[in-house]
Amino acid sequence: MSPIDSILRVVSTWAAERGDIMAVALVGSHARGSPKVDSDVDLVVLTPNPKSFRESLWLTQIPWGSLGRAVATYRDAVYGAVWSRHVTLDNSTQVEFSFGDPTWAATSPCDPGTRIVVRAGCRVLYDPQDLLQALMRHAA
């Protein structure tokens, strides 16, 4: 299993164990299968209360140690419908968690920005309510 696949497995398991995460998707170059050496791992996390993740200790709940990794640094940014935590692990791998409300995956209408993100590469990692699957069918 590749280091990126290991990260995706650990994050997917973490998300499934929480009651407040409705879906997780890998987006961007890794989802397309065309990452560059310095590409970050871009994740979209849908939750009813995205702002709660700004204040919680969720980042310490992901078992990075099971990968032989630890969080070195992080910084936050806001991008319209989502806010992001850019995490740098101790081996310089960068993981961007973008938190958004489940309406980010709305299909009627589908937000133009969301459609661009999905069309540029989207791999569903965790989606028990089929929010992202429906979005992918609609945005195609």
CATH topology of domain 3-139: Beta Polymerase; domain 2 (3.30.460)
Strand bridging mode 41-46 / 23-27: antiparallel
CA distance 8 to 25: 10
How many C-beta atoms surround the C-beta of residue 5 within 10 A? 10
Alpha-carbon torsion, ordered 101, 88, 6, 140, to 10 deg: 40
* pLDDT tens by residue, 22-55: 999 999 999 999 999 999 999 999 999 999 999 8
Q: Where are the domains of the chain?
A: 3-139
* pLDDT tens by residue, 83-113: 999 999 999 999 999 999 999 999 888 888 8
The reported pTM is 0.94
